[in-house]
Chain A
Amino acid sequence: MEDKNDEVKKTKEKLTDKSKKAEEKAAKEAAKAKERAEKEALKAKRKTARDSERSKKMVEKLAKKKAKAGIYAETIENVASSGTSAIHYLSPEDNPNLEITDDTILVVNNLTKVFHKKGQGEFTAVDHVSFTLNKGECLGIVGESGSGKSTIVKMITRLLDATEGTISLNGKDVTNVKGKDQRELYKNIQMVFQMPFDSFDPRHNLGCGVGESLRNNGMSKEDTNKRVAELLEMCGLEPEFASRYPHQVSGGQCQRAAIARAIAIDPEILICDEATSALDVTVQRQVLDLLVELRKKLGMSYLFISHDLAVVQQICDRVLVLYHGKIVETGTPDEIINSPKDPYTKNLVESVL
């Protein structure tokens, strides 16, 4: 009996031991968890403190800027209330040159492009360029060849990678978008190139080129054909032009088709890179009239690149003068032409024959 009792006792003890151990373990774990939780809480606390400090700093910085330039009132409010929405527009080194309002759709901040040439070292084509484009605005970029006009546009359209700086479209950073996001970008930004013939596939008819963006975005063949006819008409061409090949039309007609192709997807921004430079003056006039008309009708923003000040004066609201990759002057065309401040701009205006 005693043996049995002993055994029972032993097992009981064992059990209590086990349960004790388990209890201890649990207690330990709880303690650990508590510690962990405390640590995390501390971390979070610190983080929030840091964050608030950061945003505080940001607000302070902005306030300073505001005091300086008096233009940031809205942005600061946005930062304070929503925390992040407006921060997208501002880079770490926020830029006093940028005037950001609700209408701003494109912000280019400190954009830089350095080309590496074999054996020739580095060449800075675009040097910390910052500007904004507002809704419905026509922004002109002028400058001589090699000043970096086209390089800027190529970076905006992702045909070139930026070395430094950011580009944001509607608050979204698009500086380095790839793949699906890049395709998404092209729904908002479209381009008209200088050489009308070179920008179309010589083996496909114009209708195919104009409707390509629509087909790529899942429109049926039938609907695309209908829309292409509409677009061509909108651009002053007969619908029959859809079945012609690039070599069968004149330069002006081809450029009209290029415009139709660019507006097919209904972009917010249309970039015209020397779009009228290769055309005769009479045709250039017609194409410019078309661009002005389309802007009224569709409310697009233009980024209009040209070396011809007279053309820029005709259609742009605001002009950037670019020289050796830097913006040397900005203002309305009349301001820049009538009272140029920078010596380079002066020279440019005086050179117009």
Chain B
Amino acid sequence: MEDIITYDNVEISYRGKPVVQDVSFGVKKGEILGIVGESGSGKSTIIKAAMGLLGDVGLVTKGDIWFEGKNLPDLSEKEMRKINGPKLSMIFQNAVGAMCPIRTVGAQIYESLKEHGHDDKEEFKKNAIEMMAKIGLTDGERVLESYPFELSGGMNQRVAICMAMLMNPDILFADEPTSALDVSVQKRVVEEMVQMRDHFNTTIIIVTHNIGVVRAMCDTCLVLQHGDIMEYGDAKQVIDNPQNEYTKKLMDAVPKLKKAV
């Protein structure tokens, strides 16, 4: 199967200083890729580059990111706006912070849909409640009428997933989606994201520092250190049988729950 998105020798710089060098990988349809590494290793930068979210100081200085025959860094902001949302979606670490605090969750989800041509309010409500039920928000009606601060962190993150998935994107980028959540909620969100993949065959690229999350949901895994790829391959292989020195050190440092079987 062909890759849906391909990074080709990508170098990304902030203020002219390269933070990610020579990164190449491809992700297939329906695949879940986990990008792991310490803070400052350039994990988030890689997915921000695809979404065009590097800001004023960041720039893809070398290489291409291919998606549907287009090189994403070359596209204008106008063209990106058409792709971001219906084709590429993203969820953030701090879901509460990513939403507008003074408008209801429903109004915000509706706005994002309206921008991309789905402006039937009744249909939106039906779809949204249906989608929420799928990811474990049983009381959809009430959630839509709530403000972000009235919901818990886990619920907000699920609302964000719902918002991202309503457009049925080809690729879902997730930037540390579970880091701010409790373990029990984290597990549910992970399970729901895997379910999303099973339902819609969505490609998911997840950035995390939690090796447990990668083990639980990813097919492939990419380990970064200081912007260089240390190891890339099958997730189980990389986690259980690391070849690279740094990966070995990283996996060794992960606190593991010792359970008597």
A residues with CB within 8 A of B: 144-145, 251, 280-285, 288, 307-311, 313-314, 334, 337-338, 347-353
The 9 closest A-B pairs by CB, nearest first: A353-B212, A310-B255, A144-B182, A285-B253, A280-B38, A351-B184, A351-B183, A351-B187, A282-B253
Contact B259 A281 (CB under 8 A): no
Contact B253 A281 (CB under 8 A): yes
- List of B residues within 8 angstroms of A285 by Cβ: 252-253, 255
For the residues of A in contact with B, the DSSP-based class is: helix
- List of A residues within 8 angstroms of B167 by Cβ: none
Q: Is B1 an interface residue (CB 8 A)?
A: no
- List of B residues within 8 angstroms of A351 by Cβ: 183-184, 186-187
B239-261: which residues lie under 8 A (CB-CB) from chain A?
249-250, 252-260
Q: Complex: how many Å from CA A282 to CA B258?
A: 19
Chain A nearest CB from B179 CB (Å) reads 10
- List of A residues within 8 angstroms of B216 by Cβ: 353
Contact B39 A353 (CB under 8 A): no
Given contacts A353-B187, A353-B213, contact A281 B250 (CB under 8 A): yes
Q: Is B190 an interface residue (CB 8 A)?
A: yes
Q: Is B153 an interface residue (CB 8 A)?
A: yes
- List of B residues within 8 angstroms of A145 by Cβ: 153, 182
Q: Complex: how many Å from CA A314 to CA B212?
A: 17
For the residues of B in contact with A, the DSSP-based class is: helix
Given contacts A281-B211, A352-B183, contact A337 B249 (CB under 8 A): no
In the assembled complex, 15 residue pairs joining A and B whose CB atoms fall closer than 8 Å, in A order, are A144-B184, A145-B153, A282-B249, A282-B253, A310-B257, A313-B257, A334-B260, A337-B259, A338-B259, A349-B259, A350-B187, A351-B186, A351-B187, A352-B183, A353-B186
Given contacts A251-B39, A338-B260, contact A281 B255 (CB under 8 A): yes
- List of B residues within 8 angstroms of A284 by Cβ: 253, 255
Given contacts A145-B182, A284-B253, contact A353 B259 (CB under 8 A): no
Chain B nearest CB from A286 CB (Å) reads 8
Chain B, residue nearest A310 (CB): B255
- List of B residues within 8 angstroms of A309 by Cβ: 183, 257
Q: Complex: how many Å from CA A281 to CA B257?
A: 14
18 more A-B residue pairs beyond the given contacts A281-B250, A288-B255, A348-B184, with a C-beta to C-beta distance below 8 A: A144-B183, A145-B182, A280-B38, A282-B38, A284-B253, A285-B253, A307-B183, A310-B256, A313-B258, A337-B257, A337-B258, A338-B260, A349-B259, A351-B187, A352-B183, A352-B212, A353-B212, A353-B216
Chain B nearest CB from A274 CB (Å) reads 12
Q: Complex: how many Å from CA A282 to CA B184?
A: 24
Interface centre among B215, B249, B256, B258 (most CB of A within 10 A): B258
- List of A residues within 8 angstroms of B211 by Cβ: 281
Chain A nearest CB from B186 CB (Å) reads 7
Q: Complex: how many Å from CA A314 to CA B258?
A: 9
Contact A311 B39 (CB under 8 A): no
- List of B residues within 8 angstroms of A144 by Cβ: 182-185
B186-208: which residues lie under 8 A (CB-CB) from chain A?
186-187, 190
Contact B215 A347 (CB under 8 A): no
Chain B, residue nearest A278 (CB): B39
Contact A349 B257 (CB under 8 A): yes
The residue from A282, A283, A352 contacting B257, defined by CB atoms under 8 A apart: A352
Chain A nearest CB from B182 CB (Å) reads 4
Q: Is B158 an interface residue (CB 8 A)?
A: no
Chain B nearest CB from A278 CB (Å) reads 9
The residue from A311, A334, A349 contacting B255, defined by CB atoms under 8 A apart: A311
Q: Complex: how many Å from CA A284 to CA B256?
A: 13
Contact B250 A282 (CB under 8 A): yes
Interface centre among B38, B182, B183, B184 (most CB of A within 10 A): B183
Q: Is B210 an interface residue (CB 8 A)?
A: yes
Chain B nearest CB from A148 CB (Å) reads 14
Q: Complex: how many Å from CA A251 to CA B212?
A: 22
- List of A residues within 8 angstroms of B256 by Cβ: 310
Chain B, residue nearest A251 (CB): B39
Chain A, residue nearest B212 (CB): A353
Chain B nearest CB from A348 CB (Å) reads 6
- List of A residues within 8 angstroms of B186 by Cβ: 351, 353
Interface centre among B184, B212, B213, B250 (most CB of A within 10 A): B184
Contact A347 B184 (CB under 8 A): yes
Interface centre among A310, A348, A352 (most CB of B within 10 A): A352
Q: Complex: how many Å from CA A281 to CA B184?
A: 20
- List of A residues within 8 angstroms of B258 by Cβ: 313, 334, 337
Chain B 201-244, CB-CB to A under 8 Å as 1, else 0, gives: 00000000111110110000000000000000000000000000
Q: Complex: how many Å from CA A119 to CA B259?
A: 46
Chain B nearest CB from A176 CB (Å) reads 32
Chain B, residue nearest A308 (CB): B255
Chain A nearest CB from B45 CB (Å) reads 16
- List of A residues within 8 angstroms of B252 by Cβ: 285
Chain B nearest CB from A305 CB (Å) reads 14
Chain B, residue nearest A311 (CB): B255
- List of B residues within 8 angstroms of A353 by Cβ: 183, 186-187, 190, 210, 212-213, 215-216
